[in-house]
Amino acid sequence: MKIDDVSLFRVEGQWRGSGHPHGSRQSQALDVYPEFNDTGGGSGRVSDELRAISAIYLEIRADDGTTGVFGPIQRSQAFVIHEHLRRFLLGRDPLATEALQDQMLRMNRHGRSGLFMTGVSPVDCALWDLKGKALGLPIFRILGGPTRDAAPAYASMLGFSTEPAAAATRALEYKGMGFTAQKWFFRNGPGDGYEGQRKNLAMAEAVREAVGDGYPLMFDAFMGWTAQYATEMVRLLEPIRPTWMEEPVPPERVGELRRIRQAARVPIATGEHVYTRWQTKELLVGEAVDFLQNDPDWTGGITELVKVCALASAFDVPVVAHGHSLLAALHVAASQSPVTVPYVEYLVQGQESKQHFHKPIYRPSDGMVALPDLPGLGLVVDDDKIDRREELSF
């Protein structure tokens, strides 16, 4: 079997919003500059109007007609694939995922992290999709699963209002839907001063009070804080017993993460912006992390995430993959011990638009995502939702 085509296509259609009011965005590193730190408070308007939506997919085709598909991906990822990986892949054996991933990791002098790795990762995921279809098996079965019939999904509450009363109501609603854990996103950081810090704490306390003691609650700062600010925040958060505090600072600051981790009894999570097992190792050896979150879309693909799970399990550090796309992380979760991968992340607003062009759409029921029973990833692009399709050639 040989790869005879690697194509990148963009689809356009119409999507009727999430049906939720526009809420708060998360804190970000740029917020220390007032011109980038807008209020971001949301309009209160319900986002259910019909709007244009588009998505980019990668398709790898073998000479026997078997295809592997992955997406949506970003245009920058598509560019790396088109410019650097497409020609390399043509003529190669698509089932040799280990060989191809190792070769892509060695290919470019700047290619061990960052944008280049976000191009390698979807290629690896698409090759696993192709392999699953060629063998007639879901990926988790090829990886040695299933280790369970369905995976617990935690509700990731990005996009909802962080105003305390609104957040508390929403948290209770999602607990009532059967989700057994939730993650909330802080809006404020060092650029918002003492008042912002109080607002962060008020949101966290309101959500904790709503869901009750013992319910797993996580919080995310999206790398928007400094080490000093993060240290103050984890000390303030300690009494409400977060399951983890995510990305208080960027992940390459291993020493800072270790010191924040030691400053309070609040576990630290990071990994969605960590690439490959080698960067992951530094966090583990540096005793800087309690939960890893490498994303298969970015860290080096399904192949790499499986290696990260093996590495992390030797440190007894769970891996809860970032949920940029649900399916790749779900297949890995279903192939690993529930101790190694206790949850998948489900972005309750984001997944509705990310999966818009797919059939079936995978959603948790009672807090659990059933495993796909289709061969490969289980990602089928629904032609009925596509108004226009174009090949990307850059």
Whole-number minimum distance, CB 174 to Mg ion, in Å?
A: 17
How many residues bind Mg ion (CB under 5 A)? The answer is: 1
Q: How many CB atoms lie within 10 A of CB 178?
A: 13
Minimum CB distance to Mg ion smaller for 186 or for 357: 186
Whole-number minimum distance, CB 323 to Mg ion, in Å?
A: 9
Whole-number minimum distance, CB 341 to Mg ion, in Å?
A: 17
Please give the radius of gyration of the chain, using alpha carbons only, rounded to the nearest integer: 21
Contacts (CB under 5 A) with Mg ion, residues 165-224? 220
Whole-number minimum distance, CB 223 to Mg ion, in Å?
A: 9
| 207/203 Cα distance (integer angstroms) | 6
Whole-number minimum distance, CB 317 to Mg ion, in Å?
A: 17
Whole-number minimum distance, CB 380 to Mg ion, in Å?
A: 28
Judging by DSSP bridges, how do beta strands 67-73 and 51-62 pair with one another? antiparallel
Judging by DSSP bridges, how do beta strands 3-15 and 244-246 pair with one another? unpaired
- Residue 284 token pair: 């583990």
Whole-number minimum distance, CB 246 to Mg ion, in Å?
A: 5
| 58/197 Cα distance (integer angstroms) | 42
Strands of 98-234 (E only): list them.
150-156, 182-185, 217-220
CA distances from 372 to 30, 124, 321, 336 (A): 39, 19, 18, 16
| 149/214 Cα distance (integer angstroms) | 25
Q: Which amino acid is at 296?
A: P
Burial of residue 15 (number of CB atoms within 10 Å: 0-12, 13-18, 19+): middle
Burial of residue 34 (number of CB atoms within 10 Å: 0-12, 13-18, 19+): exposed
Q: How many CB atoms lie within 10 A of CB 145?
A: 17
Whole-number minimum distance, CB 198 to Mg ion, in Å?
A: 23
Minimum CB distance to Mg ion smaller for 27 or for 101: 27
Indicate whether 297 belongs to the interface with Mg ion (CB under 5 A): no
Site string for Mg ion, 219-248 (x = CB under 5 A): -x----------------------------
Nearest Cα neighbor of 140 from 388, 316, 374 is 374
Minimum CB distance to Mg ion smaller for 31 or for 129: 31
- Residue 374 token pair: 């289709």
Minimum CB distance to Mg ion smaller for 274 or for 381: 274
Site string for Mg ion, 124-163 (x = CB under 5 A): ----------------------------------------
Minimum CB distance to Mg ion smaller for 175 or for 322: 322
Minimum CB distance to Mg ion smaller for 66 or for 113: 113
Whole-number minimum distance, CB 76 to Mg ion, in Å?
A: 19
Q: How many CB atoms lie within 10 A of CB 313?
A: 16
Minimum CB distance to Mg ion smaller for 232 or for 345: 345
Minimum CB distance to Mg ion smaller for 220 or for 297: 220
Minimum CB distance to Mg ion smaller for 86 or for 273: 273
Q: Which residue is nearest to Mg ion (CB)?
A: 220
Residues, the chain, total? 394
Q: Residues in the site for Mg ion, rule: CB under 5 A?
A: 220
